[in-house]
Amino acid sequence: MKIKYYGVRGTVPTPGQSTIRYGGNTPCVAVWCGEELVILDAGTGLRVLGDELADSCFGNGKGSATLLISHTHWDHIQGFPFFSPGYVQGNVIRIMGAHQINKGLETAMHYQQQYQNFPVLLSQMPSRITFKALEEGVGHRIGEVDIETAEMNHPGGSFAYRVTWKGKSVVYATDTEHYDSVDHKLTPLCKDADILIYDSTYTPEEYPNFKGYGHSTYEEGIKLARAANVKSLHLFHHHPNHTDEMLDAMQKKARADFPQTYVAREGWELEI
Ligand SMILES: [Zn+2]
Ligand SMILES: [Zn+2]
């Protein structure tokens, strides 16, 4: 299983000198399970992934990918109109998301490309784009890849995904706010996972001022990682105001408590 980060920033793209090392694109993570491509979220990082895919079978209309959308806040869908494989006839793009927001998912994805927002309607994109509702707790299979879901604590709802292939698992859990005790849905979803990608928008010091915003901290990520016996914790959905230096400091603090912690960085590629 190969994982590559294309966007790690939360809320809004943040180009500039202070974010150059960790990156400013919004959420998009590619997970290759052999030939099967699973994409987690369609933030602005998706544009970069699309450009890289142009040299593969996606360039001549023979590609297929599954796009798992956590929820339809802008930072998680805005890259889709700029995903170049979507403009190549023959490619298949399966967009999946939560059942209860799925009417909203399909509607929101189309709405994003209405003419008042964008010059090309989603229905005019030449690739074959399909939508599928996923239900919480009901597993889904794509080829040899297993997808599991859990709903998280976020305004309007958000889905966490566990992607499992050949005994390796990565959990994508962003845009969620922790509870007083460790999340009873995320703990089983994360059980023994190789990697947990977790919402670390705020520092523990900042968090009290932003209760109810639907985001979390690295400290809570560590609690969850421990409770679920996760091997490696990847901090994700960085706050737009968090500079590279602040993220370095966050990684150092987190590692003192949970050594296998990494601040996710745009362009970082790893194999498990
Ligand atoms: Zn977000
Ligand atoms: Zn959100």
Judged by average pLDDT, the poorest of 135-139, 147-151, 190-194, 230-234 is 135-139
Q: How far is the CA of 180 from the centre of ligand 2 (A)?
A: 20
Over residues 49-62, the mean pLDDT reads: 97
CA–CA dist 87, 61 (Å, integer): 9
Ligand nearest to the CA of 156: 2
**AA identity, residue 263:** V
Centroid of ligand 1 to alpha carbon of 151 (angstroms):
15
CA of 45 to the centre of ligand 2 (A): 16
Mean pLDDT, rounded, for 119-146: 96
- 25: buried, middle or exposed (CB in 10 Å: 19+, 13-18, 0-12)? buried
Query: Which-ligand-closest: CA of 11?
Result: 1
74 C-alpha to ligand 2 centroid (Å) = 8
Residue 104: the pLDDT is: 83
Q: Tell me what the mean pLDDT of segment 168-185 comes to.
A: 97
Ligand nearest to C-alpha 12? 1
36 CA from centroid of ligand 2 (Å): 27
Q: Is the pLDDT of residue 146 over 90?
A: yes
Q: Which ligand is nearest to the Cα of residue 214, counting in written order?
A: 2
> Are 7 and 25 in contact, with CB atoms under 8 Å apart?
yes
Residue 26: nearest ligand to its CA?
1
115 Cα to the center of ligand 2, angstroms: 24
- 67-102 pLDDT, tens digit per residue, is 999 999 999 999 999 999 999 999 999 999 987 665
- Half-sphere exposure of residue 65: CA atoms within 13 angstroms, side-chain side: 32
Q: Cα(49) to centroid of ligand 2, in Å?
A: 21
Q: How far is the CA of 23 from the centre of ligand 1 (A)?
A: 15
The domains found in the chain, sorted by start residue, are 2-264 (3.60.15.10)
CA 182 to centroid of ligand 2, rounded, Å: 20
pLDDT of residue 103: 61
List, for residues 212-228, the tens digit of each pLDDT value: 999 999 999 999 999 99
Per-residue pLDDT, averaged over 18-23, amounts to: 98
At 248-257, the pLDDT tens digits run: 999 999 999 9
Within its chain, how far is the Cα of 178 from the centroid? 17
Q: What is the predicted pLDDT for the residue at 101? A: 64
Q: Is the pLDDT of residue 259 over 80?
A: yes
